[in-house]
Every structure is written in structure tokens, then in C-alpha cells.
Structure 1
Amino acid sequence: MSRAALVVVDVQESFRRRPVWAYASNPEIVGQVGRLVDAARERGDLVVWVLHAEPGTGGVFDPASGHVRLIEGLSAAPGEPTLVKTSHNAFTTTNLQQVLTTAGVREITVCGIRTEQCVETTARIGCDLGYQVTFVTDATVTFPTPHRDLPATATLEEILADPRTLSVEEMTARTEYAFATVRTVAEVTGAVPAGARG
């Protein structure tokens, strides 16, 4: 039984089908997540894959679209669960807690898409449930985020031009301040000692 797990949240093709993907904070996320997955497997940690679905919506998160699947370059190994959620966090609408409890997991490392939304809410719920949570910011993706007063009909160009729009750097920084244990891919994989960032 493993005491630790890597939870990969929403690293799925759906996001790459949106025009805003051109402005993603970390378009090379597959490589970063792949390093975390390889390290977790080498340690014998559980790897849990989570996908987001919005059935019946006709959009890129509708399973009927064919895009609710891992981005090319990532795949679950035999015995690694793939859970499908319909809420922002990975716990509420899946049996993730049962999977972790059955495996004896007490520590989780989270990564994925979006930094401040699905990944952060998964980390927060995990903390509330008593898990020791590590948040790997450089293995997450976020996007420019519009101000709440911008109309829902605003185009991507209008969102990017609005001075109130939060940049991907601002979104990432705000999320990092919310967690006690933020690590880089290099720290988690052992490529550099924890806390030895340049």
C-alpha cells in the first residue's frame, strides 16, 4: 500500500480545443506532468488521473465531443484509476477519497489544468479531508482571467485588451500564496533539493 499519490487533474484535450489555449501559461504541461508521473511510478506511488466532463452540453467537455481524454503523450498505466468528474474539484463527484483511502494514501501531490480552479479546489478539499498536500505550480496551466464585470459575450481579444484582466503570472502567484507546500517539478522529482530554487 502506498502512502502517497499523484493526482493529475484535467490534463485533457478539451482545453487545447479552446482558442485561449494560445495564451496558456504552460503549453508544455505534458512534459512536466510526465516527469511527475515517471517519478511517482518509480517511487511506487499511486497515480490517479482525473478528467472533467459536462455531458449533454455539446461543448468540448461533452464526452460526445471525443475531447474528454488525456492530452497526447500521457496515458494511464495498468492499475492507475481514471476518474471522471463533473464538479471543479476531483473529490465531490468521484470516488477519489475512497480510492486514496483504500490505497492507504495520506499525502497527495496535485497538478493539472486550471491552476486556480480545478487544481486549487482539489488541493483545498484534500487539505480539508486531512491529506498532506503538495501543489506543483509549474506542472499546472492557467489562462488570462477576465474581470467579473466584463460581459459574458466578450471576445478573447476584448478579454486580453481589458486592463482588469489578470495575467497568467498573476493567477499563478495568487494561487501559490494560498498553499503552505508549493513545490516545483524539479523538487518533487528529486532533480534539485526542496527549497533550492534559484
Structure 2
Amino acid sequence: MTQHPRTALLVIDAQESFRQRTEEWAATANPRVLHNIAMLVDRARTDGDLVVWVTHSEPGTGGVFDPEQGFVRVVSEFEPRPDELQVTKTTVNAFTSTDLQSRLAEHGVERLVICGIRTEQCCETTVRVASDLGFAVEFVTDATTTSAIAAGDGYGAVSGEDIMRRTESILAARGFACVVTTAERTGVAAVV
């Protein structure tokens, strides 16, 4: 019997901090992101994969990512189980400021499935670092989201949708990850 590599689902920054930015959250490029993440979590639990909840913290800033404000917690729709890992990062990627790599190694994880909030920041950067660390990575594109970004003087803004397509293209074309959809990952057709 062939042993398959152990897989972990990394849920990046699906936290209440983002919902506190109400205008930005209302304009998110992928309003179905939490539904799609929930589908991935259900599938990971069914398959016996490790689920890892990653949150972002900016201590001492007084903003929505400052733990003192009470929003650095997984969104209320999700309930991490006691046997699932939880890490809080202070850097853009999930590895540099946490013990995530060693904790994944303790569980024999070789493959990562990555989803979450801020497609081009925390999700993409975590994918790149994970790839550099030797993990096989699947990036579940429709289980991420972002918002438009002002591109600077004379360049206008880049839509959230364009940012997401750019991220997918770069990660796939440069070999950082296999880009998949929630339906492909779970075997369940996405509801539009």
C-alpha cells in the first residue's frame, strides 16, 4: 500500500480583524471566501488532514490587528477544534515569526493546502516560503480574497479581482504552487 504524504490545510488570517474594516470588507473581491474556506475545512477534517488556523497580530499598534482590541481571533463562523493547530504571526508569511515549520514537521506534513484572506499578501507570501521550505503546495484560489489597492502616483488602483488573477498566474507559472479551486479540492461543485 502506498503511503500518501500528510496534508495540512492552512487557513490564513480568516479573522475578525478584517471585518472591522467594514467598507473594505464589504468590497472584498470574493464575497464567498468564508463559505469556500468552510468547505475546505470540512473536507480536511473528513480526510483526516491537519487543520492549521493562522492569525495575524500587530501588538501595540492600537489598530484592529492589535490583540488588545480583541479582534485577533478566528471569525465567528469557524470553531477550531482542540486537536487543530493555532498560530499567531507578526510577519506577512506564516513561518518567519512562528514555530509553524517545526510543528508541521512533528505531524509529518509534506503537503500544504493554503487559503485565507489577503490573496497577494499573507496567502501568497506563505505559499512562496512554504515552497522554498520544500513543501508541496496547493493554492485554493477561490478560497482567498483581497480588496482593491491604490497603485501609487499616476497608476490608479488595481482591482481585487485583478490582484487575485495576477497571484494565481505568478504562483502557477513560477512553480510555487498548484492552483486549484474549492470544487477541485473538495470534489463538491461550488455554489455561485
**TM-score between the two structures when normalised by the length of structure 1:** 0.87
Partner residue of 1:8 out of 11, 15, 40 = 11
Q: Distance in 2 between matches of 1:132 and 1:5?
A: 11
Q: Distance in 1 between matches of 2:127 and 2:139?
A: 7
The CA deviation at 1:2 is 6.7
Contact 1:106 1:131 in 2 (8 A): yes
Q: Distance in 2 between matches of 1:191 and 1:73?
A: 20
1:109-168: per-residue Cα shift (whole Å, max 9, x none)? 000010000000000000000000000010001000111338xxxxxxxxxxxx720001
The CA deviation at 1:189 is 0.5
Show structure 2 runs of 5+ residues with no match.
173-177
Partner residue of 2:73 out of 69, 73, 76 = 69
Q: Distance in 1 between matches of 2:20 and 2:32?
A: 15
Q: Distance in 2 between matches of 1:89 and 1:182?
A: 18
Task: Find the counterpart in structure 1 of residue 157 from structure 2.
Answer: 165
Task: Find the counterpart in structure 2 of residue 35 from structure 1.
Answer: 39
Task: Find the counterpart in structure 1 of residue 175 from structure 2.
Answer: none
Task: Find the counterpart in structure 1 of residue 149 from structure 2.
Answer: 145
Q: Which amino acid aligns with 1:46?
A: L
The CA deviation at 1:80 is 0.4
Q: Distance in 2 between matches of 1:188 and 1:100?
A: 20
Task: Find the counterpart in structure 1 of residue 20 from structure 2.
Answer: 17
Q: Give percent identity, aligned residues only.
A: 51
Structure (1 or 2) with the greater strand fraction: 2
Q: Is residue 124 from structure 1 mapped to residue 128 from structure 2 by the alignment?
A: yes
Partner residue of 1:80 out of 80, 84, 95 = 84
How many residues are aligned here? 180
**TM-score between the two structures when normalised by the length of structure 2:** 0.90
1:29-50: per-residue Cα shift (whole Å, max 9, x none)? 2211110001001111000000
Q: Distance in 2 between matches of 1:43 and 1:171?
A: 31
| Stretches (4+) displaced over 2 A | none
Q: Distance in 2 between matches of 1:27 and 1:15?
A: 13
Task: Find the counterpart in structure 2 of residue 156 from structure 1.
Answer: none
1:168-183 matches, within 5 Å, as: 168-180=160-172, 181-183=178-180
Aligned Cα RMSD in Å?
1.5
Q: Distance in 2 between matches of 1:81 and 1:34?
A: 16
1:39-91: per-residue Cα shift (whole Å, max 9, x none)? 00111100000000000100000001111111111121121011000000000
Q: Distance in 1 between matches of 2:72 and 2:30?
A: 19
Task: Find the counterpart in structure 2 of residue 189 from structure 1.
Answer: 186
Task: Find the counterpart in structure 1 of residue 96 from structure 2.
Answer: 92
Aligned residue for 1:106, secondary structure, equals strand
Aligned residue for 2:17, secondary structure, equals helix
